[in-house]
Structure 1
Amino acid sequence: MRLALFQPDIPQNLGAAIRLAACLGVPLDVIEPCGFPLSDAAIRRAAMDYGDLAQVTRHAGWRDFRAKSAPSRRLVLFTTRGATPLHDFAFGPEDTLLFGRESAGVPDDVHDAADARVVIPLAPGARSLNVVTAATLALGEGLRQIKAFPRLQRTDSPA
């Protein structure tokens, strides 16, 4: 399973996504251009002390991402225009979970390229979640379904 961010707008969200990916052992794809200057140094800064744990791949754009994605990977777009609720979606180990820009989601061509479109149901009146909050929910459910959460490592002695 992989996490992909399409042209993120907010550097703090990228930092949180890097930390999320590092903590869950999931590779992160960043599809540029971003809404802020992005460099390898900026990624290291955003990753804080998780940089060594994170596997981040930068893509120059949508075409570059698609060209480098394995054809066996299913592209699962999370969108408010999704057809399948998160709790009804069956994840697979080769899925790439794609999240759009905080300000605009993804353009129609990216929406149309997705193999599946998933929506996270929200309470009435709520419009959307923060992109990394949504990614956390989605990755958590996907990793649970495919039984791929990192193994628990005890740091304390048993009582």
Structure 2
Amino acid sequence: MAQLNIVLFEPEIPANTGNIGRTCVATNTRLHLIEPLGFMLTEKAIKRAGMDYWADLDVTRYVNFQDFLEKNPKAKIYYATTKAKHVYSEVQYEPDCYLMFGKESAGIPEEILMEHPDECVRIPMQGDTRSLNLSNSVAIMLYEALRQNQFLGMNLEGELHHHKWEDIC
């Protein structure tokens, strides 16, 4: 079965990466980390944010962007950036595409974006807002890609358990 991919370019904040890792486990999405990282993967903040899900995460590390490209030569990549002309929801995401996000302080380097202007996508924001939190941005775009691909084998129904109010109190 096809599997979506999240790519983090030089992430700096361990809690964001931990949260994203947890989201990847919950959605059967691969996580790709392009170094240098702004933290050690053994940090408590990663474990705290990712909770006990981190052990189940399909994660690959790369020494740099070139290493990532060489090891994923057929990757269809969409680049999340506030500089894009296309809104993320206007794109048709392939079931095995890669959604790439830049580091918290600077985003994806402009030289990379300039090479792929048609694959750059943005999340609309009000006014002069610089950007959304990285883990929120990943969740927004990932769930749009999942929705477009009929949620790729995910649980689509839950079940309420009927309890009397007196039993709960």
Q: TM-score, normalization: structure 1?
A: 0.87
Cα distance in structure 2, aligned partners of 1:45 and 1:151: 25
SS of aligned partner of 2:129: coil
Runs of 5+ in structure 1 lacking a partner? none
Q: What are structure 2's unaligned runs of at least 5 residues?
A: 164-169
Amino acid at match of 1:105: G
Q: How far is the alpha carbon of 1:3 from its aligned partner?
A: 0.4
SS at 1:106 equivalent: coil
| Alignment match of 2:147 (pick from 132, 144, 159) | 144
Counterpart residue type for residue 102 of structure 2 = G
- TM-score if structure 2 supplies the norm length? 0.82
Query: CA offset at residue 138 of structure 1?
Result: 0.1
1:37-81 deviation digits (Å, cap 9, x = unpaired): x24x3497353300232111111111111111141x211000001
SS at match of 2:6: strand
The C-alpha deviation readout for 1:94-123, integer Å capped at 9, x for no partner, is: 210000010001212322344600010112
Structure 2 counterpart of 1:10, one-letter code:
I
Max Rg structure: 2
Identity of aligned residues (%): 31
Q: Could you say what secondary structure the match of 1:51 adopts? A: helix
The residue type paired with residue 108 of structure 1 is E
Task: Determine helix, strand or coil for the equivalent of 1:77.
Answer: strand
- Number of equivalences: 156
Q: Which residue of 2 aligns with 1:101?
A: 103
Provide the alpha-carbon RMSD of the alignment.
Answer: 2.2
Give the structure 1 partner of residue 114 of structure 2. 112
After TM superposition, which residue ranges in structure 1, 4 or more long, deviate above 4 angstroms?
A: 153-159
